[in-house]
Structure 1
């Protein structure tokens, strides 16, 4: 492709600035290595080549300082990593070695070979595009280097494929069946025993899986699922790790759905489990079952790429940052490849986060009336769901369906809820209302801001155009009213949230009731909220009046009206939430402030058990609720009361088949005052212990915290020993998002991963990559959290003990989840360490110890536990 010399370098700025040697690889047009340079002393040989060369650097843009020293300036400097992010948008990890492996490039210790290979893959991928792609991307190439590369690609395509047909990207038609649906001869047997026989040693599963061993627990669980369906009875199943629960409920579910022509819905809490069911388990069942079935994933509107919203965003490209334009370039490639339009396929690379939320379908979306309906991913997802036998959703969508009176999920009567221990908290979150200064600022910036093309700017542009039949004077006055209303609302918002900050002080949350904030502050709150609400209403009315003025069918006006109606709807939702707060209805609801990367005003149900019972459990013929952790020492009362399950249900526990006695060493460290001493004082001691333990195991350690603040303190106290031991220290929110640091942890065994709440579950790291889990504190919820406080108050009013009936069972279930991170397969082994010795000192400690699948544990001070670990490592 390249008509002159090309250099590929691994560019690292500190190396260049120090003047040390830099590796450079000179390659010819066919990308075959010819010879290399590793020492700047060979400058004479390089000088004649530099000025005619294209330099492809990895990690950063090329630094010209090096080349000036060599006596020439290269023709172009192109970032190979950025090219890979654009041309391979779904890879997610763009570290050199990991990306090279994913792209199938031969392993090499020479990084220059890998960079060369990646560049070659980029060229090969680019040559598959047609001229439509190059025309669409031309306006987004704000870097001359990128423009140069894409121009060379376009020239190569024109030369090699002059007759390649153009493709109309926005009119792709995809099959509405599941991606692996293949009709075939039906053999659906009526007897449930046929299903159970599939799990036997000579059944379908064994025939398809070499080395398969029938598990009695899995057979029994499948039978319980079928019995629940047959008897129209709810079933609560606790199935320990290794039970094989996903297949134990999926196989009966698809059999039942096909036999009775009844949809079955499966709801999960975490994305990894949803992905496993969709991409691993269902395709496996499609392959082995003697009958066909349709399975699909259904998500909320905002998860599906919307072509209309894409077009609206493109109009703002002159306001995009360089990173956002690069993200959009990767989006152009992704659109050619995606079959589902699910935006979660796109990694959260720099620039993508800020535009991601604008690309999904929104509350105004009506696929049937949209000009892009023929290729609408949301519409296709809904059609697949209508035809599906089994639909996979998440807990959030389940409650979104409840809020919309069952307008989202196609009608169904059979439901399986996996990871059901999260159901109550998801209901609290989804059925509540929240508002933050950040969300208000985002809304107001979209209406009258100075950043991207705002609504006010678009309306002002109409006035300048003068080609539309509009009342210019009236529109001008109303535009001014919009700007004034936005300014007024912004000022009121700043004042109100400043008041919230003063009320909260150093607290992370507070209930907005007289007992907690006093009568004077409470009165000020309601007066301020009334004024706040009035400003929302004023802005909404002005936008509605402008919307009535715009009646042309012109595309520009249609776009503005669509954007305006979205803002009107969003304002309406905020107004409704504020009105609910001002009703001051204390029956079963609580209004409070919470601090989490900003201050939030929230209004939530205290008890959602009646909603779950009436809108989910009683609606369905049968609901199966399953998880590895639902009981507290064999008792399901806490869980069943939480979800309103009071009659017509059965419960069963299937303990994990793994040999924890042989494979887990559980140690409790005595003498660390982690439960009462301030985190800032204990951070050094905790970090020291973690460092010595991780050094013994050469990484492979997960540390679970209950406090983000304590984790930060410990992380910063740990950086020195991590560097000294050559270990990669990864912390949630410090080194990246949950998914990215988990991926880094799995790719590099010499790592220590620190996480808070979301790392206590949904982490599946089998084998030797994880050999030690350290739990810093028992995972009690803070009694001062507003919702916990409100629920505790309610229990006390009923004459019940909040600690015994709320805080303790929640902590035990959470503790079991954390413990479950260590052993994920029958061959796993490792060390579990608890730094909180309250399990030995307090009466409630036995609840935690009795909840674990082991009977013996080792106790000792830090040195004794480390000595025990050293002995284990030596063995």
Structure 2
């Protein structure tokens, strides 16, 4: 290491504010020298006040533990001496050090001074793709034991081990990366610059050629992974049942005979050979992914052209590449070349990032994100920005460095551009795994990113409808618009517009005069938009006079008809400005492209011009004839924060034509549509019609045997209040009670599924405040930081965990085996009747003389309900309870349709207390 001494400190306290009387109850310290923990220090401290209950529950420290402990003043001198000559280290220095400094001051000791290292900050830089930077989570990533979290000495020792591991990881980084880290790290909050310099100096002392990296503009970039050679083996599809069984035995250990899987494999192979179309509904448990993956791979190898496999979520695309592909390879006995292809916006724009690196003016969040990207580039194989775990401000920074179009294929950039690498990889692959959004966006380009194909598999086919609506959506957000347009700045504000005029002045006349005129056009456009927003605000307030207590309001866009002229005029003025500055930018780029600083400014300038043009296009699309006439266009606002909360949305009600165009079933290859839910009892073609499948395409069903679900049981809690006849708060209190009791009975491992973020938040907060589940890891979508997949990984990591989720957790996530014991349905998943898109679709159905509830609301709710059950049982060994708290399932005539849509599982209608007794008995028997 570097010869320094590191004092790693952790405090347990009665609260967060020493100024308000909070005191330390325990301190733990570990001394790190030359990469080893050499000694430790630990003591309880009497705070002179009662320990709050939630602190005791968190730490396990009770009043009796500290009753005879010394007060801080009695230990202050030896603690102060312990820190002398050391670098102060903590996992969140900004809490531990100020708290300790306050206590030193209170004890009459001088303030401690010296270097600090925050292992949270260091971990974010060195492990930029870690799913979480909490001490327990990041320690688990490194295999560091932490049995008694929130106990000072245990946390201190774990943090010390983490420091040692992070230092070693730092020293493994290539020299160009370390050089950039050191140069940029002086803006960080702790003294990481000296740690980076020490690693850099050591690297230079032991200078050696570092393989595996390409160095471009000072950045070390991971060399592309080696692609497997194309196999020309004579492989044919196993038509004989015995031959097929032999292949499956190679793929699965242990092997389990699944007749439905075998039948689906045959159907997929037949479809690809005939270049026809198949709709395959595959029940949970038959092994759907492998059923299409094997025949697609065999056919692609035989044809010498890749097959595309598209799913809805990126998580499932990665699952296919990371887990299922290996099984297919084992089955056929040859390596398969598979490429994971996402939309261009997922990838980093290296040129833009290099330009940002050359500048020095940024916020703390941007500095931290830059350092994370620098380290990530030395290790990423994909260049997919979704791999990074950055802070809120960092997410905005990532948007700055996303690609918006493919790079030009010339020179050295072609070798390192991740998107071009991925396209080349895809063209020489056997399988291209992508998502629905990529397929939809491909149709918008002049040239498809896909090579000639042997076939196409659309998994999660029912979600292609949602993906198509999102793809076709026009969204205008007042906040986003103001942020984007505000980058230009009005005259005299010193922002991009003023800098552009200054640059035009350097180019001489008439450029300067025209640039000033462009500024005046910008001012007129901004005035026009201000007038439009003021008019929209007044009209919304007028429209809502009959519902003054309703804060969140939604109106049809057609309600803004009186303001169409004003809104269009604002858009036209903005276009006039954009056309002028685009014209003026061309000569400036050609004049100054050799000046690095000016070239960087012009690159940023052009980026924001493009972003503003997108905003203008969306605005004019909304207020053009198509937008105003579309019933599925609406305006949303929260009256407590208007105009900031203003959003205007337009989605097409029918996307079947767009879907058929994206999939291109007449492209000379077979197309397989598959999902766990492609039909409903009595509504066989509910999904097929929305996808646009011709009547000639039959929906074939592949079902698991009844014994597959023998570990499942459904409970309807019969003594819950009627959700439609009690105040929401009363229902939430009952939900919280039921969740707490079910969680304790099952030992955690529960999904709690909501249809409303508001109800989720209120239930979660009520349970947290009650402290009845203090020993459980409670993870809540929209409250706990992180993406859906990060939340799922956290849920799976802890045995005593509960995940509160809304829409996206009803489907598309797997928690197999013991990871999931119960799914709790808080209310039946009907769409809100006030949802504008739902209203538009319902109106269309009503106009045709049909019942919108029976034709739209009910089937969509049943599909989601069925998908929720699918989270529970993923193999014959799984055991789980599907708990429904909404009594409409037993009281309403349509309730039986929800139950009929599920596989054949026992259904019990019981009171909460009886259900808890049965759950406890059931899971105790399991253990």
- TM-score, structure 1 normalization: 0.90
- Contact map agreement 2:488 2:496 (CA 8 A) in 1: yes
| Residue 483 of structure 1, CA deviation | 5.0
- Residues 524/216 of structure 1: CA separation in 2 closer, same or farther (3 Å cut): same
2:312 and 2:490 mapped to 1: Cα distance? 37
- Contact map agreement 1:186 1:292 (CA 8 A) in 2: no
| Residue 407 of structure 1, CA deviation | 3.0
Out of 365, 370, 386, which is 1:328 matched to? 370
Q: List per-residue Cα deviations over 1:560-595 (Å, max 9, x = no partner).
A: 444444444444444444444444348876322246
1:296 and 1:854 mapped to 2: Cα distance? 39
Matched with 1:5 is: 5
Out of 885, 889, 907, which is 1:839 matched to? 889
- Contact map agreement 2:779 2:803 (CA 8 A) in 1: yes
- Contact map agreement 2:271 2:278 (CA 8 A) in 1: yes
- Residues 863/453 of structure 1: CA separation in 2 closer, same or farther (3 Å cut): farther
Matched with 2:233 is: 187
Matched, 1:441 2:482: yes
1:312 and 1:198 mapped to 2: Cα distance? 58
- Residues 367/472 of structure 1: CA separation in 2 closer, same or farther (3 Å cut): closer
- Contact map agreement 2:279 2:673 (CA 8 A) in 1: yes
Q: Which runs of 5+ in 1 are unaligned?
A: none
1:453 and 1:333 mapped to 2: Cα distance? 33
Higher mean C-alpha displacement, 639-648 vs 286-295: 286-295
Matched with 2:878 is: 828
Q: How does 1:348-747 map to 2 (within 5 A)?
A: 348-363=390-405, 365-368=406-409, 372-404=413-445, 407-412=448-453, 414-448=455-489, 454-460=495-501, 462=503, 466=506, 468=507, 471=510, 473-474=512-513, 477-478=516-517, 480-481=519-520, 484-485=523-524, 487-488=526-527, 491-492=530-531, 494-495=533-534, 498-499=537-538, 501-502=540-541, 503=543, 506=551, 509-513=554-558, 517=559, 522-550=560-588, 551-552=590-591, 553-554=593-594, 555-585=596-626, 590-594=632-636, 598-620=645-667, 621-633=669-681, 635-657=683-705, 659=707, 662-670=710-718, 671-723=720-772, 726-737=775-786, 738-747=788-797
Matched with 2:799 is: 749
Matched, 1:27 2:72: no
Out of 75, 83, 87, which is 1:54 matched to? 87
- Contact map agreement 2:680 2:901 (CA 8 A) in 1: yes
| Residue 745 of structure 1, CA deviation | 2.3
- Contact map agreement 1:775 1:835 (CA 8 A) in 2: yes
- Residues 390/499 of structure 1: CA separation in 2 closer, same or farther (3 Å cut): farther
1:573 and 1:46 mapped to 2: Cα distance? 59
| Residue 807 of structure 1, CA deviation | 1.4
2:735 and 2:539 mapped to 1: Cα distance? 34
Q: List per-residue Cα deviations over 1:714-744 (Å, max 9, x = no partner).
A: 2233223344653333322122243343333
Higher mean C-alpha displacement, 107-116 vs 447-456: 447-456
- Residues 427/735 of structure 1: CA separation in 2 closer, same or farther (3 Å cut): same
- Contact map agreement 2:12 2:24 (CA 8 A) in 1: no
SS state at 1:113 partner: helix
2:165 and 2:376 mapped to 1: Cα distance? 16
- Residues 30/605 of structure 1: CA separation in 2 closer, same or farther (3 Å cut): closer
2:30 and 2:759 mapped to 1: Cα distance? 47
1:707 and 1:35 mapped to 2: Cα distance? 49
Matched with 2:69 is: none
Matched, 1:234 2:277: yes
- Contact map agreement 1:588 1:606 (CA 8 A) in 2: no
Higher mean C-alpha displacement, 123-132 vs 577-586: 577-586
Matched with 1:767 is: 817
1:347 and 1:761 mapped to 2: Cα distance? 24
Matched with 1:206 is: 249
Out of 100, 105, 125, which is 1:66 matched to? 100
2:700 and 2:137 mapped to 1: Cα distance? 43
2:492 and 2:410 mapped to 1: Cα distance? 31
Higher mean C-alpha displacement, 488-497 vs 294-303: 488-497
| Residue 199 of structure 1, CA deviation | 4.3
- Contact map agreement 2:504 2:512 (CA 8 A) in 1: no
- Contact map agreement 2:272 2:454 (CA 8 A) in 1: no
What RMSD, in angstroms, separates the aligned Cα atoms of the two structures? 3.2
| Residue 681 of structure 1, CA deviation | 4.0
Matched, 1:79 2:118: yes
Out of 353, 357, 376, which is 1:314 matched to? 357
1:104 and 1:730 mapped to 2: Cα distance? 22
- Residues 151/421 of structure 1: CA separation in 2 closer, same or farther (3 Å cut): same
| Residue 868 of structure 1, CA deviation | 4.0
SS state at 1:761 partner: coil
SS state at 1:21 partner: strand
SS state at 2:281 partner: strand
- Contact map agreement 1:702 1:774 (CA 8 A) in 2: yes
2:492 and 2:308 mapped to 1: Cα distance? 43
2:649 and 2:539 mapped to 1: Cα distance? 12
- TM-score, structure 2 normalization: 0.85
SS state at 1:619 partner: coil
SS state at 2:191 partner: helix
SS state at 1:824 partner: coil
1:450 and 1:728 mapped to 2: Cα distance? 52
Matched, 1:118 2:162: yes
Q: Which runs of 5+ in 2 are unaligned?
A: 45-71, 149-153, 545-549, 639-643
1:450 and 1:616 mapped to 2: Cα distance? 49
| Residue 660 of structure 1, CA deviation | 6.1
| Residue 676 of structure 1, CA deviation | 4.9
SS state at 1:799 partner: coil
SS state at 2:632 partner: strand
| Residue 652 of structure 1, CA deviation | 1.6
- Residues 124/862 of structure 1: CA separation in 2 closer, same or farther (3 Å cut): closer
- Residues 493/744 of structure 1: CA separation in 2 closer, same or farther (3 Å cut): farther
- Contact map agreement 2:825 2:885 (CA 8 A) in 1: yes
2:356 and 2:837 mapped to 1: Cα distance? 39
| Residue 482 of structure 1, CA deviation | 5.9
